[in-house]
Structure 1
Amino acid sequence: MNIVAILQARMGSSRLPGKVLKPILGRPMLEHHIERIKLSSKINRIVVATSIDPADQAIVDLCRQIGIESFEGELENVLDRFYQAARLYKSDHVVRLTGDCPLADPHLIDELIDFYFVQKCDYASNCYEPTLPDGLDAEVFSFAVLEQVWKEAVLPSHLEHVTPFIYMHPERFKIKSHKYHTDLSHLRWTVDEYEDLEFVRRIYEILYPVKPDFSMKDILLLLEKNPELAEINRRFKRNEGAKKSIEKDKQFLAQKHSH
């Protein structure tokens, strides 16, 4: 059984261009992120899914340097990018990860994968009904489900965010949410804004030298002792990008109806 983690990453970002390669302790953020995912005991292969945009060549070059597979697909149609990468690497099951989450916890990813198999579901995630900090998001689904979605999804938000088609159709797919025992969803550990990057850099500067494989619990303990760290990026809200996608869908549907 082949479980492939597909990590989507691109240089373009309206709020923080080139964020995935911004340095943290002298190494690109994406390299740190991959190092953490490699600690998973369930994932058989990691593939970075980037785009054919010339700006993204820097991501391909980094992957080559650190010995990680990369796939270059369409810039806007991320769903197609995932499908083509999953097919190329003969995935039976796919773990979807995004390149703006350098604090990803491999143990939590493994727990989600176990949960997915125990529940015998089509799709399991820890972010559809979030209880973990924003920035620890992961989703698991079978290649068969991905292929079905790839064949049918047409809305721009479904192509951009890969999985909304699944949770928009609960009558067709068995969907399960893996929840943490405490709701930590108010915490912001993703990197979308400069302040987010500053926050993540502080976490790495403090924890990485003493424990390179630091976990979510280590970060929580650090924030308990140093609550001022969480103030660095507190003003930003979860899922800002989703609002833009909904606008694109409205435009797409308006154009469709006008033809």
Structure 2
Amino acid sequence: MNDTMPVLMIELANAHGGVEQVIDAMIEAAIAVEYPDKVIKFQPFKFDLIAIPDFEYYSVYRDLYFSPSEWGRMILKTASNCKVCLDILDLYSCEILRSNCEQISFIKFQSSILENYEVLTALRSIDLSDKKILVNVSGLSLDRIDATLEELGSFGAQIILQVGFQSYPTHPEDLGLQKIERLAARFPEYELGIADHSDANSAFAQIAPLLAVAKGAKYVEKHICISRTSAKFDGSAALEPQEMQNLAEHLKLVHASSQAQFVPRSERTYLDSTIQVPVAARMVSAGSLLSDVDLLYRRTAQSGLKRHELFELQRRRYILAEPVDTFNVVAAENFRSAKVAAIIAARMKSTRLKRKALLEIGGTASSVRCLRQCAAARGVQQTILATSDIEEDGVLENVAREAGVDFWKGDKDDVIDRYLGACKHYDIDVVVRMTADNVFASPEIIDFLLDSHFATGADYTAAADFVVGTASEIINREALQRVADHFGRAEHSEYMTWYFQNNKDRFKVNIVDLPKDWVGDFRLTLDYEEDREMMDELAHRLGKKERVYALDDVLSVLRSDPALAGKNAHIGLRYKEDKNLIDMLDHQTRMK
């Protein structure tokens, strides 16, 4: 619908019967209609220039004739009150236009005169550049309308396409409403209008123009008469003055209804007063993220965040700063910005591949490569190498320094306790868990999992399937603390995954499908000599020992060289293949 008020074109037509006093009364009635954008339209023509004597209405046309001076008086009177439009029907219309050009804002071409060469030629001697031309396209195909617009373009005036033809009255199926949207699609640069000649005794006579406006028409042409019972001609389609005023009021309402903000204030107030907002289904601890399982939806006198607002805050990496009690709403002030750190566990105690944390891969220590890969993730604010507090592992502080990351020493066996120590010392809320064996840890996967973790309000997030050695886990510090509080010591926290995935009734576990291009049957973790040889060659293929490697580049090399990828493909993962280990972990990590 148009942003501006529809234009109401009040057509005087021929209901006056050629009587000057009647047309004067009609002019007064049209002027009296209160409407902000109103045009009064006249039909000046001369009987012997519009028809020849054999035409059935020739004598009627003679009776309807007004002289040039009479037209001049009527046009001047009307133009002092509102805009004027002239129907151009013959050469006489052209002369009336020429004589009163300054008072005329619009002219109209019926479709029946669009091929009238003598009229169109006469009009070319009149400057129409400041006029608007309504072109009625009734009876014309879309292609013919195209051609007509091209022909009329030389007038240099704004053209308005109009539907509706002079049938008194016009049946609803003949109104042309179905054309408006098609014309708008075919000719989007042109404004549209309707000439409505519906049966004025029907309620539809006031409904049809509103439907046209709703479909996109900006100009509504409607006949007026003083009284339908006394109108000599055209009365069946003409509205009486009060009916015309009623139509004007309805047009104002239709316009107002389409111009309100998308969500009006009253509508927003209604929603705010009735919406069922999220409230805590149970007490939720500080340091947690909220998911749908934590929430109920109720009407309440409390003022809190709507669901989409709450989850948008979390997507922006906010976390609960304080507990939220049962049935309490969640407010913005309950949140604070979360600090995210990648904590990489590393030790020097490896037995299968001695001192692997210091072994070079592509000219750089394996653990340094892992640390740099993790630090490259856009969502990681801090990277920490976390090792034990025994003397043997002290050498790893030099590794952290070389990689430009922070260093933490903690419990040698309880990795969860070690992680919590680092979290408390560095004030970390959300942990990206990685082990230093994962030389080609993927910053892309870290960011993908972080996005999902915050969006879903998880406690723990991991990938469903991945290239071994590329994927991390995301864990809230608050969830790590719950494990520590329950077990006292997490004796098997080298296998930290089990404490969460084995307790899905206690933790919000979010298992994520990675993009298919990031998944493959390769091994990129450092545990055996074959791993070192394969990854060392891979790093040399990728080049630049200081470089952070993109996952797509790493996988592209492996996919293009099956022999390289196959060097360590025979090595399995103990935590997936050792049934005794799996059974023990299932039992020992279960929170009963």
Q: What band does the TM-score fall into relative to the shorter chain?
A: 0.7 to 0.9
Matched residues in 2 for 1:137 and 1:165: separation?
18
Matched residues in 2 for 1:135 and 1:231: separation?
15
* Preserved CA contact (<8 Å) 1:156 1:245: no
What residue identity is the alignment partner of 2:559?
A: E
The structure-2 alpha-carbon separation of the partners of 1:89 and 1:244, relative to structure 1 and needing over 3 Å to count, comes to farther
The structure-2 alpha-carbon separation of the partners of 1:71 and 1:248, relative to structure 1 and needing over 3 Å to count, comes to farther
The structure-2 alpha-carbon separation of the partners of 1:31 and 1:196, relative to structure 1 and needing over 3 Å to count, comes to same
Q: Does 1:134 align with 2:468?
A: yes
Q: Does 1:119 align with 2:456?
A: yes
* Preserved CA contact (<8 Å) 1:47 1:69: yes
* Preserved CA contact (<8 Å) 1:7 1:47: yes
Deviation at 1:27, TM superposition (A): 2.1
Q: Does 1:93 align with 2:93?
A: no
Where 1:156 maps in the other structure, the secondary structure is coil
What residue identity is the alignment partner of 2:444?
A: H
Q: Does 1:23 align with 2:357?
A: no
Q: What CA deviation, in whole Å up to 9, does each residue of 1:232-257 have, x standing for no partner? A: 1111012458849838958x97xxxx
Match of 1:179 in 2: 513
Match of 2:530 in 1: 195
Match of 1:162 in 2: 496
Where 1:5 maps in the other structure, the secondary structure is strand
* Preserved CA contact (<8 Å) 1:188 1:238: no
Matched residues in 2 for 1:65 and 1:246: separation?
36
Matched residues in 2 for 1:179 and 1:167: separation?
16
* Preserved CA contact (<8 Å) 1:156 1:249: no
Matched residues in 2 for 1:3 and 1:62: separation?
21
Q: Does 1:215 align with 2:550?
A: yes
Among 235, 238, 245, the alignment partner of 2:570 is 235
Where 2:506 maps in the other structure, the secondary structure is coil
Match of 1:81 in 2: 418
Matched residues in 2 for 1:243 and 1:74: separation?
26
Q: What CA deviation, in whole Å up to 9, does each residue of 1:160-193 have, x standing for no partner? A: 3234222211111111111124383532111111
TM-score by length of 2: 0.40
Where 2:343 maps in the other structure, the secondary structure is strand
Matched residues in 1 for 2:540 and 2:475: separation?
34
Match of 1:257 in 2: none
Matched residues in 2 for 1:111 and 1:204: separation?
24
**Larger displacement relative to structure 2 (213-222 or 13-22):** 213-222
Matched residues in 1 for 2:451 and 2:520: separation?
22
What residue identity is the alignment partner of 1:77?
A: D
Matched residues in 2 for 1:169 and 1:74: separation?
24
Match of 1:58 in 2: 395
**Larger displacement relative to structure 2 (97-106 or 23-32):** 23-32
Match of 1:143 in 2: 477
Deviation at 1:74, TM superposition (A): 1.4
The structure-2 alpha-carbon separation of the partners of 1:14 and 1:242, relative to structure 1 and needing over 3 Å to count, comes to farther
Match of 1:3 in 2: 340
What residue identity is the alignment partner of 1:219?
A: V
Matched residues in 2 for 1:48 and 1:191: separation?
17
Where 1:162 maps in the other structure, the secondary structure is helix
Matched residues in 1 for 2:514 and 2:503: separation?
24
Where 2:379 maps in the other structure, the secondary structure is coil
Deviation at 1:71, TM superposition (A): 0.8
What residue identity is the alignment partner of 1:195?
A: E
- CA RMSD of superposed structures (Å): 2.5
The structure-2 alpha-carbon separation of the partners of 1:134 and 1:247, relative to structure 1 and needing over 3 Å to count, comes to closer
What residue identity is the alignment partner of 1:156?
A: E
* Preserved CA contact (<8 Å) 1:134 1:188: yes
Where 2:422 maps in the other structure, the secondary structure is helix
Q: Indicate the percent of aligned positions where both proteins have the same amino acid.
A: 25
Greater relative contact order (CA < 8 Å, ≥ 6 in sequence) = 1
The structure-2 alpha-carbon separation of the partners of 1:66 and 1:160, relative to structure 1 and needing over 3 Å to count, comes to closer
What residue identity is the alignment partner of 1:137?
A: A
Q: What CA deviation, in whole Å up to 9, does each residue of 1:3-35 have, x standing for no partner? A: 011100011112112111101233211112222
What residue identity is the alignment partner of 1:16?
A: L
The structure-2 alpha-carbon separation of the partners of 1:247 and 1:144, relative to structure 1 and needing over 3 Å to count, comes to closer
Where 1:192 maps in the other structure, the secondary structure is coil
What residue identity is the alignment partner of 1:143?
A: R
Q: What CA deviation, in whole Å up to 9, does each residue of 1:168-227 have, x standing for no partner? A: 111111111111243835321111111001111111001033993332211222122211
Matched residue count: 248
Match of 1:256 in 2: none
Unaligned runs of 5+ in 2: 1-337
**Larger displacement relative to structure 2 (201-210 or 239-248):** 239-248
**Larger displacement relative to structure 2 (94-103 or 239-248):** 239-248
Matched residues in 1 for 2:574 and 2:512: separation?
19
Matched residues in 2 for 1:210 and 1:76: separation?
32
* Preserved CA contact (<8 Å) 1:105 1:216: yes
Among 43, 51, 76, the alignment partner of 2:380 is 43
Matched residues in 2 for 1:122 and 1:9: separation?
24
The structure-2 alpha-carbon separation of the partners of 1:124 and 1:223, relative to structure 1 and needing over 3 Å to count, comes to same
Match of 2:47 in 1: none
**Larger displacement relative to structure 2 (76-85 or 161-170):** 161-170
